[in-house]
């Protein structure tokens, strides 16, 4: 089972309408990117899918076991090793005690950090900390994985490496991934489908399917990136003009 979003709207007191009648059907095992400028409601949408926020109207249908969440900041506990940070997620999920050590090893090897088991967060690079955070999210063993701009703070080389690893991990695990970003090229590189949101409130403006042929063709991917960037800039300017007129 994937995720079904039916005419969902969200209003914040004092802010007004953040998401407006948004509908989407995300298939089981699909890799979706939600693309939009800051303030378009991308993170709020993930919070509703995770059950952390209730929609003001409409409804969502998610798998019974819910969704795992990976944030922009790794949020690792600094006094615990990489292995213990992952083990904590297993403990909270009531994973059998006798099997935890083996599962921690499996998860860290899955994100290519088996050698970093005993290292604490301050001994790891930013990219390594994010991989530990990904292993911790996978420890929850949910079919749906929500990712809220997890690579935004990383340098370009590290981000490219993590893109490759995430695609490989997705192919290996078959998880449903909903990846929020404001980076057009990141969305094209990662996702099989992109939902483009309007600036404010968030509505689906465009839906684009990304084939491997398009992804791997520099000319086609660059042309699509330019097209989507133009759409987002137009939306942003429209939002700014609305704000100025309202003021």
Residue spans of the domains in the chain: they are 3-66+144-246, 76-141
CATH class, range 3-66+144-246: alpha beta
Share of the chain above pLDDT 70, in %: 96
pLDDT tens digits, residue range 146-168?
Answer: 999 998 888 888 888 889 889 99
Over residues 75-93, the pLDDT tens digits come to: 899 999 999 999 999 998 8
pLDDT at residue 239, as a whole number: 64
pLDDT at 141 over 70: yes
**What secondary structure does DSSP assign to the chain, as a single string?**
--EEEEEEEEEETTTEEEEEEEEEEE-TT-EEEEE--TTSSHHHHHHHHTTSS--SEEEEE--TT-EEEE-SS----TTS-HHHHHHHHHHHTT--HHHHHHHHHHHHHHTT-GGGTT--GGGS-HHHHHHHHHHHHHTT--SEEEEESTTTTS-HHHHHHHHHHHHHHHHHH--EEEEEES-HHHHHHH-SEEEEEPSSSB-EEEEEE--HHHHT-HHHHHHHHHHHHHHHHHHHHHHHHHHHHH-
């Amino acid at each position: 089972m994937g995720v079904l979003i039916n005419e969902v709207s969200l209003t914040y007191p004092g802010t007004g309408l953040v998401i407006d009648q948004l509908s989407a059907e995300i298939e089981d095992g699909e890799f979706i990117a939600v693309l939009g400028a800051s303030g378009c409601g991308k993170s709020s949408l993930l919070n509703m899918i995770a059950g952390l926020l209730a929609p003001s109207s409409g409804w969502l249908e998610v798998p019974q076991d819910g969704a795992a969440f990976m944030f922009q900041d790794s949020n690792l506990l600094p006094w615990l090793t990489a292995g213990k940070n992952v083990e904590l997620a297993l403990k909270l999920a009531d994973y059998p005690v006798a099997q935890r050590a083996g599962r921690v090893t499996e998860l860290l090897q899955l994100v290519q950090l088996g050698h970093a088991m005993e290292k604490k967060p301050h001994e790891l690079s930013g990219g390594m900390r994010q991989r530990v955070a990904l292993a911790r999210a996978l420890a929850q063993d949910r079919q749906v994985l929500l990712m809220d701009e997890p690579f935004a703070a990383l340098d370009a080389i590290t981000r490219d490496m993590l893109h490759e690893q995430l695609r490989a991990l997705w192919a290996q695990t078959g998880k449903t991934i909903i990846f929020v970003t404001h980076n057009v090229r990141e969305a094209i590189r990662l996702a099989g489908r992109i939902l483009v949101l309007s600036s404010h409130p968030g509505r689906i403006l465009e839906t684009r399917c990304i084939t491997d042929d398009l992804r791997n063709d520099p000319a086609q991917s660059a042309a699509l990136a330019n097209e989507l960037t133009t759409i987002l800039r137009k939306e942003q300017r429209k939002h700014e003009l609305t704000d100025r007129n309202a003021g």
